[in-house]
């Protein structure tokens, strides 16, 4: 049986899914139950509000929200719940940085943890850090991830020293 989702991943459009799935993938790898929804701040405001306001009552522990362009979704989500909300500003090649700027410019009193543009992986890792505060098994998985990442960099540096940068670049 699938366990109840702890993390809600919401996005303004299905066109954001390529970015937002990056967060779902990492949560899946860590075994963190999540649900993925398309809920637009502008096109489906009532459904979005209903989802966000009901999230804590359904057992969600935090929400990851992403949108591009004027990107109001994460902000209005943070305004309607006391759960931690993590924002992923979605950036396309033909966008400026408007989604990022709007997400970091939240008014005092409504906190929003804004990740790098298209930062699905970091959004999931921050969610895992928060959840790990009250989940020892998840904290252990996170510590293992950190150790693996650390060793991977040391291995790469050792190879670079052994081969020299020219050979390293050539593979
Ligand atoms: C935003 O407008 C969405 O989050 C998406 O990033 C962008 C374009 O949406 P579509 O026109 O592709 O549905 O609200």
16 lines ligand 1 (CB under 6 A): yes
Question: In this structure, are residues 121 and 22 in contact, taking their beta carbons and an 8 Å threshold?
Answer: yes
Give the pLDDT of residue 2. Answer: 62
Task: Report residue 19 CA to chain centroid gap.
Answer: 9
124, 64 contact by CB (below 8 A):
yes
Q: Is the CB of 90 under 6 A from ligand 1?
A: yes
DSSP 88: E
The model's pLDDT over 119-162, given as tens digits with 9 standing for 90+, comes to: 999 999 999 999 999 999 999 999 999 999 999 999 999 999 99
CA of 12 to the centre of ligand 1 (A): 6
In ligand 1, the atom with minimum distance to the C-alpha of 40 is: 14
Residue range 54-86, pLDDT digits in tens: 999 999 999 999 999 999 999 999 999 999 999
**Ligand 1: residue whose CA is nearest its atom 14:** 12
Q: Does the beta carbon of 69 lie inside 6 Å of ligand 1?
A: yes
For the Cβ of 112 lying below 6 angstroms from any atom of ligand 1, the answer is: no
pLDDT at 3: 87
89 CB within 6 A, ligand 1: no
Length of the chain: 171
- What is the secondary structure of 8-73 as a DSSP string? EEEES-GGGHHHHHHHHHHHHHTT--EEEEE--TTTSHHHHHHHHHHHGGGT--EEEEEEETT--H
pLDDT of residue 129: 98
pLDDT digits (tens, 9 = 90+) for 102-114: 999 999 999 999 9
Q: DSSP label at 1?
A: -
Q: Please state the φ and ψ torsions of residue 89, each to the nearest 5 degrees.
A: -70, 120
Q: What is the DSSP string of 144-160?
A: HHHHHHHHHHHHHHHHH
Averaged pLDDT, 33-42: 98
Contacts of 73 (CB under 8 A, 6+ apart): 10, 11, 12, 39, 40, 41, 48, 65, 66, 67
């Amino acid at each position: 049986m699938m366990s109840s989702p702890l993390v809600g991943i919401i996005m303004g459009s299905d066109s954001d899914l390529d970015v937002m799935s990056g967060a779902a993938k990492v949560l899946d790898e860590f075994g963190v139950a999540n649900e993925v929804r398309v809920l637009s701040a502008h096109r489906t405001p009532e459904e979005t509000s209903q989802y966000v306001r009901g999230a804590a009552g359904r057992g969600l522990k935090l929400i990851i929200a992403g949108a591009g362009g004027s990107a109001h979704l994460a902000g209005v989500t943070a305004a309607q719940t006391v759960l931690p909300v993590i924002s992923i500003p979605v950036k396309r090649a033909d966008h400026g940085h408007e989604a990022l700027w709007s997400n970091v410019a939240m008014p005092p009193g409504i906190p929003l943890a804004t990740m790098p543009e298209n930062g699905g992986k970091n959004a999931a890792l921050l969610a895992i850090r928060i959840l790990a505060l009250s989940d020892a098994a998840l904290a252990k998985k996170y510590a293992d991830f950190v150790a693996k990442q650390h060793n991977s960099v040391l291995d790469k540096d050792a190879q670079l020293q052994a081969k020299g940068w020219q050979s390293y670049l050539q593979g």
